[in-house]
Structure 1
Amino acid sequence: MTVWIIFFALITLFLALDLGVFHKKDSVVSMKESLIWTSVWVTLALLFGIAVYFIYEHQLFGLNTHGSSGADAITKYYTGYILEESLSLDNIFVIAMIFKFFKIRPEFQHRVLFWGIIGAVFFRLVMILLGQAFIEKFEWSMYVFGGILIWSAIKMMKDDDEESDFKESMGVRLLSRIYPIDWSIQNGHFLEKVNGKTVATPLLATLLVVEFTDILFAVDSIPAIFSITDDSFIIFSSNIFAILGLRSLYFFLSGMLDKFKYIKFALVFVLMFVGCKMIFHHQLTFLKEHSWVSLVVILTALVSGVIASMISNRKEERNSID
């Protein structure tokens, strides 16, 4: 329990510094700033992996109930982190569409994402604990989770880029039952007084849509990480560090999402891989005994997607010149 308290205190400190100190005023996040913060969050995630190694190697805080070595624990942590970070790329595409649909000004986007992260931390914890309890009680749930991932991969292949009507989403419908929404307000507040009545702003509607979207994406990502490990601390910590870096990653990638058109195919492959790993977990014991193999497969898929995108971009540039 002690290590959980320390971890939550650490995350609270990071978030307090983020919004209360470094992003106290609403401003447009530049490419340079987003790159710096992306590097900061990735560095923190990697450093925490070292802490995971020592905790499990020396069996501290009573976390190592499976008797895992430090090397095995850090490999699973890094694999989970990279898996969750890669799956969040598809989330970035949708968030960009949501901001565009609701016409959220760039200086207010960080505020929406910050509070979206707060909600995501809570919902991810609940879903991880429920998922772990479900797997421990029902072994067949591994087949269900694996099927969900394969279905998600197939759905991702079929998805087109048509813009949805986010005003019809569940979050907006629930909000409109509590507060009327004034779509003309663009002042950075979530609630506002209009003629003595409290109304919701497009910023609050956007926050709820982002939150519900993250829950839907968690239906994919949470089962995916259970294919790596069933250790709740490794699952949660790798998940949270991936989420914490999502804001900076969004501002870094949002302006060049079209440059990585083959990333989606890499994500489809990753989902297929982890889905098959869960369904055939009794047969694929090699992957369970050698956790580094999953890390290599996932990294190879992502790097291949990036390289394929870069090659395609260069060909298009040459053709446009010719």
Structure 2
Amino acid sequence: MLELPIWFEVGSLVVLTLILIADLLLVVKRPHVPSFKESTLWVVFYVVLALIFAGLMFLLGDAEHGGQFLAGWLTEYSLSIDNLFVFVIIMARFQVPRKLQQEVLMVGIILALVLRGIFILLGASLIENFSWIFYLFGAWLVWTAIGQIRGGHDDEQQKDSFLIRGLRRRVRLSDDFDGVKLRTTIDGQRFFTPMLIVFVAIGTTDLLFALDSIPAIFGITQSPFIVFTANVFALMGLRQLYFLLGGLLERLEYLKYGIAFILAFIGVKLVLHAMHVNELPFINGGQHIEWAPEISTWMSLGVILSAMLVATVASLVKARIDARRRGHTLMEEVPHFTED
């Protein structure tokens, strides 16, 4: 596989950083609830940007680079949508005012980038020095897939609520938000605002999803550059996607099964790869297991696309059937957006 030019890697990271900073400044300078049209345009912009980036990797690298980025980006995007679902739960549970949700989502995205960056560095180091780590990564993803089918979102809520209950017992909290401030003054006394609880819940969620997403993408590529850029592109536009999907996100009932299938598939792929490069002395005498098949990047890409397509279509069909039974159309039940 050809190496990507160093100027392309460095330039890409600089450009992506500038885009993220510009996005952050837009949120700070113009806090508002984006309209459906605005959210759609931003989501399309980031998706097109990712596809242009993939095209450049095809041109400057080779088909393998481009294929790995596309498969990695789609995997991380699907997991980010799952992450977004939990953000919806957090916003609703703590009754975050709609006009503050953009800032909260931006903080969540920045935390996700930082945590995933740390895990990428750790994962790359482990893979370089310990090939057997693929066994652990694969087993973890299969276990995560099983948990996802059993009800991953409920588990996230229980873990968050346990942590938050402990926090509530140890700090003084005000009843109301004060913008995005963590501290406020009431009658001369200092209190933490509910925003502290929201940020802790968001950060905990990001940590849990980073534990899943990084092993998943390392099952597609071992290039830290592709891993990181795929994560950045998956997270960019997530804020706008939150407002675009709105209530529709809650109706993607079978999404968790599609994501679980993807995680299980990549988990099996990692175990097969670990067998192929095996060095553990108690497995096959420390020799490589040559008969273990290697799943290609293009097969991975096909499986990921198919799983997400089937899960999304099945969810929308079921939502439409359920809406008709209640005497409504699907679009009537999805909240509409208004400019504040």
TM-score range, shorter chain: 0.7 to 0.9
Partner of 2:21: 16
Matching residue of 1:79: 71
Amino acid at match of 1:35: T
One-letter amino acid of the counterpart of residue 159, structure 1: G
| 1:199 corresponding residue in structure 2 | 191
Structure-1 residue corresponding to 2:51 = 46
Cα 1:102–1:318 shift into 2, 3 Å: closer
Identity of aligned residues (%): 35
Structure 1 pair 321/173, CA: closer, same or farther in 2 (3 Å)? closer
Map 1:143-292 → 2, pairs under 5 A: 143-159=135-151, 164=157, 168-170=161-163, 173=166, 180-196=172-188, 198-281=190-273, 282=276, 285-287=293-295, 290-292=296-298
> What does residue 305 of structure 1 align with?
311
**TM-score for both structures, normalised by structure 2:** 0.81
Give, in whole Å, the separation in 1 of the partners of 2:53 and 2:34.
26
CA distance in 1, matches of 2:101, 2:27: 15
Equivalent AA in structure 1 for residue 318 of structure 2: S
> Structure 1 residues 175 and 286, CA, compared in 2 at 3 Å: closer, same or farther?
same
Q: Which amino acid aligns with 1:10?
A: V
Alignment check: 8 A CA contact 1:227 1:278 kept = yes
Cα RMSD over matched residues? 2.6
SS where residue 192 of structure 1 aligns? strand
- Render the CA deviation track for 1:160-194: whole Å, top value 9, x for unaligned: 765936774547856986x6432323433233234
CA distance in 2, matches of 1:172, 1:42: 38
In 2, Cα distance between the equivalents of 1:136 and 1:109?
A: 40
Change (3 A) 1:314 1:170: closer
Matches of 1:181 and 1:167, distance apart in 2: 17
Equivalent residues of 2:85, 2:250 under 8 A apart: no
Alpha-carbon distance in 2 for matches of 1:98, 1:321: 29
Q: Which amino acid aligns with 1:308?
A: A
Aligned to 2:336: none
Distance 1:80 1:25 in 2: 32
The count of residues paired between Structure 1 and Structure 2 equals: 306
Q: 1:9 to 1:172 in 2, by over 3 A?
A: farther
Equivalence for 2:11: 6
CA contact (8 A) 1:80 1:235 kept: yes
Structure 1 residue 250: Cα displacement? 1.6
Distance 2:250 2:267 in 1: 27
Name structure 1 gaps, 5 residues minimum.
57-69
Matched letter for residue 311 of structure 1:
V
Q: What displacement does 1:32 show?
A: 2.2
- Flag the 1:3–1:313 CA change in 2: closer, same or farther, 3 A: same
Moved more, 44-53 or 191-200: 191-200
Does the Cα contact within 8 Å between 2:27 and 2:103 map onto a contact in 1? no
Q: In structure 2, what is the equivalent of residue 133 of structure 1?
A: 125
The yes-or-no answer on 1:121 pairing with 2:113 is yes
Deviates more, 1:94-103 or 1:277-286: 277-286
1:12 Cα deviation after fit: 2.7
Report Cα offsets for 1:201-257 as digits up to 9, x if no partner: 222321222122111111111000011010000000001110112212222223212
Cross-structure match for 1:28: 33
Aligned to 2:320: 314
Task: Summarize the Cα distance change of 1:310–1:101 in structure 2 as closer, same or farther, 3 Å threshold.
Answer: closer
Q: How far apart in 2 are the matches of 1:95 and 1:22?
A: 18
Distance 2:303 2:153 in 1: 27
Q: Is the 8 A contact 2:39 2:240 kept in 1?
A: yes
Unaligned runs of 5+ in 2: 1-5, 277-290, 329-340
Letter in 2 for 1:135: I
Kept after mapping to 1: 8 A contact 2:111/2:206: no
> Could you say what secondary structure the match of 1:199 adopts?
strand
